[in-house]
Amino acid sequence: MNITFEELRRIKHALPTGSIHRIAEELKIDEQTVRNYFGAHKYQEGQIVEWHLEPGPGGGIVHLEDTTILDLARKIIEEHKISLQ
Q: Which tens digit of pLDDT belongs to each residue from 15-53?
A: 999 999 999 999 999 998 899 899 876 655 555 566 778
Q: Would you state the pLDDT for residue 47?
A: 57
From residue 43, alpha-carbon distances to 14, 26, 31, 49, 81 in Å are: 23, 21, 12, 9, 32
pLDDT average, residue stretch 55-80: 93
Q: Would you state the pLDDT for residue 48?
A: 56
Between CA 42 and CA 73 the distance in angstroms is 20
Phi first, then psi, for residue 53 (nearest 5°) are -105, 125
Q: Would you state the pLDDT for residue 46?
A: 55
| Cβ pair 56, 30 in contact under 8 A | no
Q: How confident is the model at residue 76 (pLDDT cuts 50, 70, 90)?
A: very high
Q: Would you state the pLDDT for residue 42?
A: 60
Number of structural domains found in the chain: 1
Domain that holds residue 20: 2-84
Helix (H, G, I), strand (E, B) or coil at 84: helix
What's the pTM value of the predicted model, to 2 decimals?
0.85
Phi first, then psi, for residue 29 (nearest 5°) are -130, 170
Higher-pLDDT residue of 42, 66: 66
